[in-house]
Structure 1
Amino acid sequence: MQRCGWCVGDTLYEDYHDNEWGVPVYDDATIFEFLILETFQAGLSWITILRKRENFRKAFDNFDYKKIAKYNTSKYDSLLLDEGIIRNKLKIKATISNAQNFIKIQEEHGSFSKYIWSFVDGKPIQNKVENYKEAPANTAISDALSKDLKKRGFKFVGSTVMYAHMQATGMVNDHEVNCFRYNQVKSP
């Protein structure tokens, strides 16, 4: 079975690649989970975040954005002491304010999913990546998404972070064309 080169050799990476990466996600809760994880990944490797994913899930109330939006100073302080997550003050604060802004976008657009998928006209972009090293780090679409999110008060949502989010949530299919998942996640 041929997989994208970036995941080969690590069972956690391979499982994530085989079952999640690049699969279109339209559920707000899952989109928010990936937004949190991508926020914390900024400047770090994705495998580091995957290894701590369950710790993040526990620390951040199962990624429940409604609860996270209401976190107080006491909860913030307890997160700073949680050795199971990335204890970055700015990223933790950003997660709380991003949850608040996430809800505002839901209220404005009916769902965050409708908002974010509007950047790709509601359907995944089908790239033809031969080698994962050739995939872009950002695009004009991720630039526009990043700019709009920042305008709405989001933090740690640079264009590269947002492109990684688009890849993870299937807004773009960047599986290598020879990868067994490329056609499985390809939209008609």
Structure 2
Amino acid sequence: MEISHVEMMGKLLGADPPRAVCDFTTLHADGDVGETGSLQYASRDRWILDLDHAGRTLHTPEREEFTGLGGERHTADRPTTPSYTSAVALLLPRYAAIYGRRGDDWSIDETVPIRTGDGGSLQVVFQHREDPRFRSTAHVHPTQYCITAFINPAETRKLTNLRFELTEEEEEQARRLLDAA
């Protein structure tokens, strides 16, 4: 599949799978494990993010609810924008800091062709905006255009066990999430 860098940028910005579930992990360059957990995406801007060492966040366009591991709860009437390093930014790359915009860390390296990698993923190379010697590689799902892995000199962030078809139980949870909006 041949795709230009401009087309890829458009596909990444527009990625919005109808449903998705996955696990995620961050591995730092020194070998330490960072953020881990799971993510269930119900539809545009509605998700449940479970962080293994922090708690659960339920996000809708109208509100955000966080429940910590100890049961403490916090609700915000105005949801926050997900961190550009979060699993949400991998599944929904419009939140990633990879477009060369003001405040973004990375921009696509148009000198390196987009290649097809293992499992059909599209491999896109990015260049650090402040120090162009640093490169990162994104592995992009070939049909949904979410980022399944983002590898840079400091860390590797991955979505694993990614599925776009939900089990009955997951589908019911997605319906409840949609109804909560």
Give the TM-score normalised by the residue count of structure 1: 0.25
Query: More relative contact order in 1 or in 2 (CA 8 Å, sep 6+)?
Result: 1
User: Which has a greater percent of helix?
Assistant: 1
Q: Which has the higher strand share?
A: 2
